Amino acid sequence: MLLQVDNLRIAFRVDKHTTVEAVRGVSFSVPRNATVALVGESGSGKSVSSLAVMGLLAPETTLVDPASRIVFDGTDLLALPRAARRRLCGKEIAMIFQEPMSSLNPVLTVGYQIGEVLRQHMGMSARQARVRTLALLDEVGMPDAARKIDAYPAQLSGGQQQRVMIAMAIACEPALLIADEPTTALDVTIQKQIMALIASLQKRRAMSVLFITHDLALVSEMADRVIVMRHGQVREQGPARQVLDHPQDAYTRALLHCRPRLDQRPLRLPVLEDYLEGRAQEGGAQRVRGSVAGEQNVLVVNNLSKSFYAREGLFGKRELRAVSDVSFTLARGKTLGVVGESGSGKTTVGLTLLRLHQATGGTALFDGKDLIGMPARDFMAYKRRIQIVFQNPYASLNPRFTVGQILLEPMRIHRIGAGDGERAAMALRLLDRVGLPAQAMQRYPHEFSGGQRQRIAIARCLTMRPEILVCDESVSALDVSVQAQVLNLLQDLQDEYRMSYLFISHDLAVVKYMADRVMVMRAGRVVEMADSDELYRNPQDPYTQALLAAIARA
């Protein structure tokens, strides 16, 4: 056995008298030349466990039980001096972190950063390190490696940044590679490439891989063994096929079934509590999606275009076309899904409709009035009627405002309600509508989980009673069970208020569940548009076919 973790207990010191236990008696093993998946939602303790293996937890705030053992290739890591632990973990054990832009130094070239690992652990000269770095970039499939070696992280796409992280991790040919959510923020096609790359490197280099994720669909494609964690404890573990095909624990079953499926569209997605409390039922009534003859269009967009300009030379400028001649309609009470890879222009379309970007061409008729061409004074009235839920629930709420202030502010600006008393009553009703208690009014955003913050963001939009809601990757950062709760909420609100959604996402399984029609974008243009079931059943464009083929299936 290459790695053996026994009775790992980790607590964090909050203050002088308070500690919080994050990992509670976790035991698992990683065999040689195998891939083990560590699965669980945010707060399950999976990342903390991996950081303990790497020795990356701050000793001044972390308490590790003396009875805990982490044995790597016969060596107890917890008993090693810090310098020896650092040498071992930098060379024999390597880690790919979840967010490459937070892990890569923005002011150093990627070539320098990979070379630093080789100089530090392998004793290479600068020339030797550069030659080896080029070979590593080629090995991880970096396009035009000879030029990208001198690029800065911000000049690379998300997928290319993750390839740099992988090259850095395998530079010293480690025996164990820890991959902590390496594909969470990536498009499905890039995700599939990174997964295939890690799998091929594992086989070619005979490495062991500890793959950390919350998505069991990904696990099914590459893991030999699966360990399911929740609240700092192991709930279930065993061979991948056994755990995925015949899960014994209710929590494992919930992780498998809360995520939307391509072959079903139930009226409501099951949530975690349904399985833990024995209420979940397979099958049942299915929701019908698609266009209906004679439906009323609330939004008609024609030839929408948006360009950005970059300085070139002393006096020149270069045009970057983000959106080119995009046209579509959105029916009242229906959902238009917008899919495509990063850089396809889908978010720019949403922001341009809200005039957070100024369009360079086209029209957007909302009840016959052009949102693009109207004066700013006239558009003020339409801000109430078209709202947006942003991707990041942690960045879209003012941390200095209580939830009550967050909800009351837009009502005051748009003069909704006769006074603050009536507005507060409306805010309380909205909180109840999105499943939050009245006590939330006095609390701040940092006191809530990601899913609860997204509910607050939705409640803020609802204070305006909008007719159109733009959902910009609004569930992509959420765990699968929380994602199911938010999707159910959005569907309930649409059923009740006949709201229309522009649902922007790179998650095609979620889009199929939510959308009546789907618009596929690539390089700023629409390449295909059709009713949801028809597009998924019979995609016409090769790009759409490639996107659908990249979906991970549990």
For 195-247, the DSSP string reads HHHHHHHHHHHT-EEEEEES-HHHHHHH-SEEEEEETTEEEEEEEHHHHHHS-
Range of the domain at 319: 295-385+470-475+500-554
Number of domains in the chain: 2
Task: Mark the ranges of the chain whose per-residue pLDDT is less than 70.
Answer: 184-185, 282-283, 477, 552-554
Please tell me whether residues 65 and 188 are part of one structural domain. Answer: yes
Please tell me whether residues 132 and 211 are part of one structural domain. Answer: yes
Please tell me whether residues 341 and 224 are part of one structural domain. Answer: no
What pLDDT shows up at residue 283? 66
Q: Is residue 465 in a domain?
A: no
Q: Is residue 106 in a domain?
A: yes
Please tell me whether residues 185 and 315 are part of one structural domain. Answer: no
Q: Is residue 280 in a domain?
A: no
What pLDDT shows up at residue 450? 72
Q: Is residue 482 in a domain?
A: no
Domain C-terminal end among 257, 284, 310: 257
What pLDDT shows up at residue 185? 63
The CATH number for 352's domain is 3.40.50.300
Going by the DSSP 8-state scheme, the letter that residue 296 receives in this structure is P
Domain C-terminal end among 197, 227, 257: 257
Q: Is residue 548 in a domain?
A: yes
Please tell me whether residues 229 and 301 are part of one structural domain. Answer: no
H helix intervals, 319-435: 346-353, 376-383, 403-413, 420-433
Domain C-terminal end among 207, 233, 257: 257
Q: Is residue 370 in a domain?
A: yes
Q: Is residue 306 in a domain?
A: yes
Please tell me whether residues 189 and 326 are part of one structural domain. Answer: no
What pLDDT shows up at residue 552? 67
Please tell me whether residues 151 and 47 are part of one structural domain. Answer: yes
Please tell me whether residues 252 and 315 are part of one structural domain. Answer: no
Please tell me whether residues 56 and 188 are part of one structural domain. Answer: yes
Please tell me whether residues 217 and 299 are part of one structural domain. Answer: no
Looking only at the bridges linking them, the beta strands covering 62-64 and 225-230 are unpaired
Q: Is residue 131 in a domain?
A: yes
Q: Report how far residue 257's alpha carbon sits from residue 237's, in angstroms, rounded to the nearest whole number.
A: 18
The crossing angle, in degrees rounded to 10, of helices 403-413 and 420-433 is 120
Which residues, other chains included, contact 464 with Cβ-Cβ below 8 Å and sequence gap of 6+? Answer: 383, 384, 385, 387, 410, 414, 416
